[in-house]
Amino acid sequence: MNHWKSFRRYSLFFLLAISITLPVMLPTKLLVGWVQPNTGKVELYDYYGTLWNGGARLVAYENRVIGGVEWNFDFFSLFSGAAIWKLEMRGDKEITALARGGVSFLGTAQIESLYLDLPVYKVTTFLNREIASLGGRATVDLTELNLDRDHPRFSMMGSVKLSDLQIGREKATPIGSFVATLNREGEGSKIVFKHSGKSAIELNVITHIEPTGEYKTGGTAELNGDMGASVKTLLAWVGKRKGSNKFEMKKRGNLWMLMEN
């Protein structure tokens, strides 16, 4: 009887070990064949290694190349009830991209941290619409990102910085620097947008995001002096004119629908 209990216990342990180690040791080529149909607009090419430690030399988003990616599995994350990977973007010297994310044992997606630093003009790679001749750098530093449409759950913590923004191609007009601070607000998030230092635009905007993805934005943007038609056109694109140099930002919508468009 004791032998049977020992055999059963070690058999369960063996099956558990196989269930954990087999997927991460499978070739990336085989795994991508399973996962690719569910990745939507993101496609991986020239991949290598395993799910444990591997990568893809080419990543495309909506048929536009955005570099390569390498990943490493964090074995210790299993003790916290999740399977977490560290990911790093490769191949584009203008972009730094680091992330930690995966899935919990309950099946919910987890993004523990996300860091991006890239030129503003390259942001258009990830959007379906072009941004009019904007220059500068964008830095995203998130320490928490919960995006789960099924539950639903939508909350973020961290910051987004736009540094040394300028508009125009030949004779660029400096706009300034701006920062968005993201914090949890109940089950959702609150984002405060402000100008940083001496900027051509005084920005005071707040966005409230519900767990369902519904958002409400309110605030103002005011020009410091005459900044020319290009800057006013940019502000008119995102706000409603209230006087010669002041624009009101007021908008409602759903972020899930916004990301799908």
* pLDDT confidence of residue 78: 82
Whole-angstrom distance, CA of residue 102 vs CA of residue 146: 12
Give this prediction's pTM.
0.78
Nearest to 146 by CA among 188, 182, 190: 188
DSSP for residue 170: S
Q: Which residues of 143-162 are buried (b: 16+ CB within 10 A; e: fewer)?
A: ebbbbeeeebbbbbbbbbbb
* pLDDT confidence of residue 192: 95
CA dihedral 192, 195, 201, 207 (to 10 degrees): -10
* pLDDT confidence of residue 129: 55
Q: Which two tokens stand for residue 98?
A: 């680091």
**Segments of 25-130 assigned E as strands:** 42-49, 53-61, 64-74, 82-90, 96-104, 109-119
Report the SS3 class of residue 220: strand
* Residue range 245-256: mean pLDDT, rounded: 86
* pLDDT confidence of residue 4: 45
DSSP for residue 27: B
